[in-house]
Amino acid sequence: MSLFASGDRTVGLLAQVAVERSVDRYPDGLTYAVPPALADLRAGEHVRVPLGRGDSSVEGMVVRVMPADAASNVPLAKLKFLEGRSTAAPPMPAQLVELAQWISSYYVCPVGMTLASMTPSAVKRGVGTVTRTFVDLAAGWEDAMRAAKRVTPQQKRVVEALRTAAPSERPMDVRDLAERADLGTPEPVKRLVSSGILTSERRTSVEAEWRAERAGAGAMPELTPAQRTVVDDVRATLNAGFSQHLLFGVTGAGKTEVYMRLIAETLAAGRTALVLVPEIALTPQTGGRLLARFPHERVAILHSGLTAAQRNQQWNMVSSGQVRLVMGARSAVFAPIPDGQLGLVVVDEEHDGSYKQDQMPRYHGRDVAIRRAQLAQCPIVMGSATPSLESWFNATERRTSALHVLRERAPGLRLPHVEVVDFAEERKRFPDNRVHLLGPRLAGAIQETLDAGAQVLVLLNRRGYANWIACADHRCGWMMRCDRCDAGMICHKLPSSNGGAATQYVRCHHCQGEQRLPRHCPSCGKQVSVFGLGVQRVEEELSRLHPSLVAGQTMLRIDADSMHDAADFHDALGRFGRGEVKLLVGTQMIAKGLDFPGVRLVGVVNADTALNLPDFRAAERTFQLVSQVSGRCGRGADAGRAIVQTFQPEAPAIRLAAAHDFEAFAAEELALRGKFGLPPWRRMARVVVRDADEEKARELAEALARELSATVGDTGIVVAGPMPCPIARIADRWRMQVEISAPNAAVLGKYLTAARNAGVLRPGETYAVDVDPVALM
């Protein structure tokens, strides 16, 4: 390495440093000179650097270290030296830094911001952690007992308590053990550890918490021949570089068992497995099962319900290489598993929309997981009963994924019988003129199921009480809209604390603004009425029909309004799982992944809530919702049934979901998308231009569309717009969109990078760039 003189300084190494709040220098950050004392600096380390004219000292991360003579275009004399290491957080593995650069590039987000979003703030702040001690009988404990000079009666009770404990209860929290052995203090346990009869290890409080879930699920079931084939096929690709697998299995087919076998193989080979689940909702059940199957492995669970201290601790455990199994929602894809250790990535329910982040960086967790597996050179398995058309296309048309299919439910389980009910017809059968959300067929089935002592799920994927607030006199035409958004207000009810009448208020679901429900029409003074659908209204109707559910507190509503945090959700599912709750009513939160054998009826109040939205994925989403929620029943001895109310019984998304025919739906939908040049045949990016001034938003969007169109050339890229977004204003900002469609991801990436380097595309407050968008409102 040659040394360059820079003024009176000597520069041997340069470092590119990403700083969170800096201009969008794609993709490498700012260049600094490395002081000779830091010659061992490497990518992924946290450093402090001087920034700006005032040289204020800021945190950054090293993206790349290179010899000064490799950077011929860098004006060495002007370079600043970086100040030094920052020890706030452990260094990031080099592969994650590389992943951040890819995300920064593909999803059009400054690299500093990307890197900053990958490390939880609790980790950067180093928030304190809590651990508990777990003990178990040591190998050869009997010999150690005989060799011990003296074993007290208390100590004997401890050993006996461990010896007679179920395998899934070991190792055991010292405090639980002390209680079980009827000890006043943990001293006898400590002495048993020091004499080698017991082993002890420290676990985080999080691990301890999830361990409680694992009881009874530890046995390894026999694989069906179909599961066996999948396991064998994927196993052949373990330890053999990158490969991509789509596991398409009907609901209840036992996909989790396939994952567990592959995880076991990965652990046996001494490597770490990373498991992604769509959201916190699924973490308790899946987490409990994983812990039960691998009671002796260190598991890290990363999700939004953790306290700052827990998050920091889990992160550090992963980073130090102690953890063999990492599970979590979207952001767990950034778990700092040391380079060279990752052996398998699993993405469960890969179709789920919650994998897409809706703020910068707007990445898709599944697609980032694929990239991560590529960097780690390991297989990735994506599973779903309703694969996204992107993944299905990759498996069946492009053949970049291997397709594995589980067509049958696990032995003893049958797919539910799904009845599609024409709600327009149903309504004619009501004897009165009241508005009912549950038709006679669904209401009758709920009654029968409850009478038989079984459990019921009722879904309406719309929050609040009613989504239409208007003047009772239709000639007046007044309708309540948000002052700050181009959207109607939604009526919500707050249950009264003293049993009196519920309070009503209205809320905007876009800016979250709230107001009181007006009594009189501001335009003509007549009464105001609320109509339309909302899950609270379904709850109200169920309460009226089944007063015993209310009296016995055996009905529970689950939606974003009733569940305040992960713990609420966890408790609610616990009560349902134990049979204390007979009927769950809720939004899509109840449609996902839950596996309760007592559910014998699923009711869908209105399957059309998403069907008519101006979004090309409307049909796909409807198909997924109806299939997934009906798949929640029939997980016990009975097949169960699902009743789907709809005004569009002939819509393919509904008809084919009822027939459990994903492949027919996918074929039909793919053909349609192909005809219109939509994803997955082409790739899309959407730029939303936002400004408080409507005219300004339009001008900026027009300029953007013009400049983007000018560089299209013969790339096959199509620029459409500008046009107003379907929701033209949110929180006082007008929204215009420009859509970019490209023949493939590589062309799109190259084009966006060029636009960014030319200063045409400046991601930030005004320009929201969304690559592979999943929501188009």
d(CA 587, CA 563): 11
Quick check: 485 binds Zn ion (CB under 5 A)? Answer: yes
Q: For Zn ion, give the closer residue by CB, 515 or 744.
A: 515
Residue with smaller CB distance to Zn ion, 322 or 515:
515
**Which residues 6+ apart lie within 8 Å of 514 measured at CB?**
505, 506, 507, 508
For residues 43-102, which are near Zn ion according to CB under 5 A?
A: none
At 602, the amino acid letter reads V
Q: How many residues bind Zn ion (CB under 5 A)?
A: 14
Looking at beta carbons only, is 175 or 481 nearer to Zn ion? 481
Rounded least distance, CB 506 to Zn ion, Å: 10
Place of tokens 């130090």: 320
Cα separation, 690 vs 697, in Å, equals: 6
State the nearest-atom distance from the C-beta of 513 to Zn ion, in Å. Answer: 5
Select 234 or 521, whichever has its Cβ closest to Zn ion. Answer: 521
Task: Supply the minimum distance, in Å, between the C-beta of residue 479 and Zn ion.
Answer: 9
Nearer to Zn ion, 447 or 523 (CB): 523
Chain centre distance of CA 61: 26
Q: Strand pairing partners for 213?
A: none
Instruction: Please tell me whether residue 478 binds Zn ion under the rule CB under 5 A.
Output: yes
Closest approach, Cβ 472 to Zn ion, in A, equals: 7
d(CA 680, CA 86): 43
Convert 51-89 to b/e letters by CB count within 10 Å (16 or more is b).
Answer: beeeeeebbbbbbbbeebeebeebebeebebbbeebeeb
Q: Report angle CA 624, 628, 634 to the nearest 5 degrees.
A: 150
In whole angstroms, how close is the CB of 774 to Zn ion at the nearest point? 22
Residue 471 as a binder of Zn ion (CB under 5 A): the answer is: yes
Give 326 or 521: the residue with its C-beta nearer to Zn ion: 521
The rounded distance, in Å, linking the Cα atoms of 175 and 226 is 44
Closer of 474 and 564 to Zn ion (Cβ):
474
Alpha helices in 380-481 (DSSP H): 389-396, 423-428, 440-451
Cα 67 to Cα 77, 83, 518, 592, distances in angstroms:
15, 18, 69, 51
Q: How far is the CB of 524 from Zn ion (least distance, A)?
A: 3
* Stretch of residues binding Zn ion (CB under 5 A), selected from 10-18, 140-148, 476-484, 769-777: 476-484
Residue 515-554 contact track with Zn ion, rule CB under 5 A, x = bound: ------x-xx-x----------------------------
- Applying CB under 5 A, which part among 470-478, 546-554, 557-565, 659-667 lies near Zn ion? 470-478
Closest CB to Zn ion among 134 and 478? 478
**Segment 331 to 370, residues that bind Zn ion, using CB under 5 A:** none
* Cβ proximity to Zn ion, 302 vs 471, nearer residue: 471
Q: In what order do the strands lie in the sheet with 299-302?
A: 299-302, 325-328, 272-276, 342-347, 379-384, 243-249, 402-406
**Sites for Zn ion among residues 495-514 (CB under 5 A):** 508, 510-511, 513
In the complex, the smallest distance separating the C-beta of residue 482 from Zn ion, rounded to whole angstroms, is: 3
Which region, judged by CB under 5 A, interacts with Zn ion, from 93-101, 416-424, 479-487, 690-698? 479-487
User: 3-state DSSP helix/strand/coil percent for the chain, to nearest 5?
Assistant: 35, 25, 40
Q: How far is the CB of 523 from Zn ion (least distance, A)?
A: 4
In whole angstroms, the minimum distance from the beta carbon of 519 to Zn ion comes to 12
Shortest Cβ distance from residue 509 to Zn ion (Å)?
Answer: 8
598 contacts 637 by C-beta, under 8 angstroms: no
DSSP for 648-708 reads -TT-HHHHHHHTT-HHHHHHHHHHHHHHTT-TTTSEEEEEEEEESSHHHHHHHHHHHHHHH
Question: What is the three-class DSSP state of 329?
Answer: coil
Question: Between 240 and 775, whose beta carbon lies closer to Zn ion?
Answer: 775
DSSP 3-state assignment of 714? Answer: coil
Regarding 476 and contact with Zn ion (CB under 5 A), the answer is yes
Of 98-106, 223-231, 483-491, 714-722, which segment contacts Zn ion by CB under 5 A?
483-491
Chain residues binding Zn ion by CB under 5 A are 471, 476, 478, 482, 484-485, 508, 510-511, 513, 521, 523-524, 526
